[in-house]
Amino acid sequence: MIKTAEEFLEKSDEKAFDLPHRRTINYNIGKYNVAVERGLSKFENLEASKKKAHVIKWRVIENLDKYLPEFESNFQRRGGKVIWANDVEEAQREILNIIQKNNGKTVIKSKSMTTEEIHLNEFLGEHGIESLESDLGEYIVQLLGQKPYHIVTPAMHLSATDIAKLFHERFGTPIDATPPQLVQKARELLREKYLKADIGISGGNFLIADTGSIAITENEGNARLCTTFPKIHIAIVGIEKVIPSINDLDLFWPLLSSHGTGQNLTVYNSILSGPRQPNETDGPEEMYVILLDNGRTNLLAQKEQRQGLYCIRCGACLNACPVYKNIGGHTYNTTYSGPIGAVITPHLQGMEEFKHLSYASTLCGKCSEVCPVKIDIHKMLLLNRRDATADHKNGKVEEVGWGMFSKMMQKRKWMDFFGGKFKNFMLKTFFKKSWGKYREMPKVADKSFAQRWEELKKKLDA
């Protein structure tokens, strides 16, 4: 568990001083910032929209026990099947059962963070099932054997030159191929896969309770192909993604697209309400929705922090975060990176192992400022720190050290007793490596202000 934190520090150190990496990230986030500023300007009253979205998500999360059964009932009414999965293993097992029951050998996937969360590609590969990503960014990182770098833009860390080089090595395209040429090559490679795949797997941006539907938003059309051509469609969606009504999409879709990519609305927005009906010409013969918990109810139990479940996965907080912009997405070593990942991961995967993420923040508040559903992200990070300390998750050495520091700071006589020489010795001995690697360590004065004041008073009185 300490190893996870140590790896984070090592990778952070490496990435923060990787200048080509920072150039690529700053360039890509810079383009995002321009697009988003333009997209947000289209709202007549952005603040009112964000407040309304916050209230809707608050109502849903406080009443999940009402909205989830409502979604299940309405979805089943149209022939869909709902499976509840408590954890990663249960979700994997249920998906494998569906695939094996239908003699499936190939899976085509659209972009989904929940499938990353349950390590689906690796799991299916271990069972001899080919699982191919169809989102271009996801496809690129899959070819590289990497995880998505960003919630919305999986290949944000790569330049057009990097991708051209990858396609040249893998598929023999020209080394100087342009982005349109690379997209065309990907289209040629993927198109037949949609037709031949036995199973289509997707995530879901929203679960719509009153119609029993899942809503998927995308820009490439690959999700529509994944959910239309294969005979079986499986959607894996976190239980927090539910919204009360189809009427709420006119608020959430624009908020998601404007904060995620700067668009007024993404290119393709689909509402799927079960398998193909007798009067319909396309769609799967069977459709399953797997409702994934995997620690979400742990976060739900935290009254002060449960607003972390309001997140609509727009990625805005990642792009605003000065820490993320310097160390990048892979450094976090979690499915959900950046500020929102630092908030929810300790609850999804364990506070002891991932508490360090809550300290990977300047607490500048920019993440909270840009959030489209007004999550107090920086406050949640502080609450995580509080809980880690209260539950004694910080290790004995750290606990004893801060305990001594706290006692010393509360009494002037102890502060003065441990004078400047002792403090300078402590800084040089114990903090030189952690704090002093890239900065000059401060020098504490030999005598405190209070001591010098007393001495001056004595001189004046004399």
Q: What is the CATH number of the domain that holds 235?
A: 3.40.50.10420
Region 186-199: what's the mean pLDDT?
A: 92
Let me know if residue 138 belongs to a domain. Answer: yes
Let me know if residue 237 belongs to a domain. Answer: yes
Q: Identify the pLDDT of residue 459.
A: 84
Torsion angle of alpha carbons 441, 442, 444, 450, nearest 10°? Answer: -150
Instruction: Give the domain extent around 221.
Output: 42-294
Let me know if residue 1 belongs to a domain. Answer: no
Q: Identify the pLDDT of residue 437.
A: 74
How many other CB atoms sit within 10 Å of the CB of residue 271? 13
Region 337-344: what's the mean pLDDT?
A: 96
Percent of the chain at pLDDT above 90? 79
Let me know if residue 58 belongs to a domain. Answer: yes
On the question of pLDDT at 1 being above 60, the answer is: no
Show the DSSP H helices in 261-327 as ranges: 296-300, 316-320, 322-327
Ramachandran category for residue 213: left, alpha or beta (phi over 0 → left; psi -120 to 50 → alpha): beta
Indicate the pLDDT class of residue 390, thresholds 50, 70 and 90.
confident
Cβ contacts of 406 within 8 Å, gap of 6 or more: none
Same domain, residue pair 402 and 286:
no
Unique residue bearing structure tokens 């079986």:
232
Same domain, residue pair 54 and 183:
yes
Q: Identify the pLDDT of residue 449.
A: 83
- What is the distance between the alpha carbons of residues 459 and 462, in angstroms, rounded to a whole number? 5
Let me know if residue 147 belongs to a domain. Answer: yes
Let me know if residue 80 belongs to a domain. Answer: yes
Indicate the pLDDT class of residue 422, thresholds 50, 70 and 90.
confident
Indicate the pLDDT class of residue 407, thresholds 50, 70 and 90.
confident
List the Cα angle 405/410/412 in 5-degree steps. 105
Same domain, residue pair 403 and 290:
no
Which of 232, 261, 294 is the C-terminal boundary of a domain?
Answer: 294
Q: Identify the pLDDT of residue 446.
A: 81
Q: Are 262 and 117 in contact (CB under 8 A)?
A: no
Show the DSSP H helices in 261-350 as ranges: 296-300, 316-320, 322-327, 338-349
Query: Which residues is 231 bridged to in the sheet?
Result: none
- What is the distance between the alpha carbons of residues 44 and 434, in angstroms, rounded to a whole number? 48
Q: Which among 204, 257, 253, 195 is positioned nearest to 226, based on CA atoms?
A: 195
Q: Identify the pLDDT of residue 302.
A: 94
Domains of the chain: total: 2
Q: What is the pLDDT of residues 39-96, one digit of tens each?
A: 999 999 999 999 999 999 999 999 999 999 999 999 999 999 999 999 999 999 999 9
On the question of pLDDT at 401 being above 80, the answer is: no
Let me know if residue 331 belongs to a domain. Answer: no
Cβ contacts of 64 within 8 Å, gap of 6 or more: 239, 240, 242, 300
Query: Which residues is 236 bridged to in the sheet?
Result: 290
Let me know if residue 26 belongs to a domain. Answer: no
Q: And the tokens for 292?
A: 């994934």
Counting Cα atoms < 13 Å in the Cβ hemisphere of 345 gives 22
Q: Is the dihedral of CA 367, 310, 131, 185 positive or negative?
A: negative
Same domain, residue pair 416 and 288:
no
Q: What is the pLDDT of residues 348-385, one digit of tens each?
A: 999 989 999 999 999 999 999 999 999 999 999 999 99
Which of 271, 294, 317 is the C-terminal boundary of a domain?
Answer: 294
Same domain, residue pair 414 and 289:
no
Region 173-181: what's the mean pLDDT?
A: 94
* pTM given for the model: 0.90
Region 24-32: what's the mean pLDDT?
A: 93
Specify the higher pLDDT residue, 282 or 345: 345
Q: Is the dihedral of CA 226, 258, 137, 328 positive or negative?
A: negative
Q: Identify the pLDDT of residue 436.
A: 67
Question: What is the pLDDT of the chain when averaged over all its residues?
Answer: 92
Q: What is the pLDDT of residues 295-319, one digit of tens each?
A: 999 999 999 999 999 999 999 999 9
Q: Are 353 and 4 in contact (CB under 8 A)?
A: yes
Region 217-246: what's the mean pLDDT?
A: 96
Which of 246, 274, 294 is the C-terminal boundary of a domain?
Answer: 294
Q: What is the pLDDT of residues 251-284, one digit of tens each?
A: 999 999 999 999 999 999 999 999 999 988 889 9
Counting Cα atoms < 13 Å in the Cβ hemisphere of 202 gives 30
On the question of pLDDT at 2 being above 80, the answer is: no
State the pairing for strand pair 232-238/106-109: unpaired
Same domain, residue pair 280 and 413:
no
Sheet order of strands, 268-272 included: 242-243, 206-208, 213-218, 268-272
Specify the DSSP class assigned to residue 259.
Answer: H
Q: Identify the pLDDT of residue 392.
A: 76
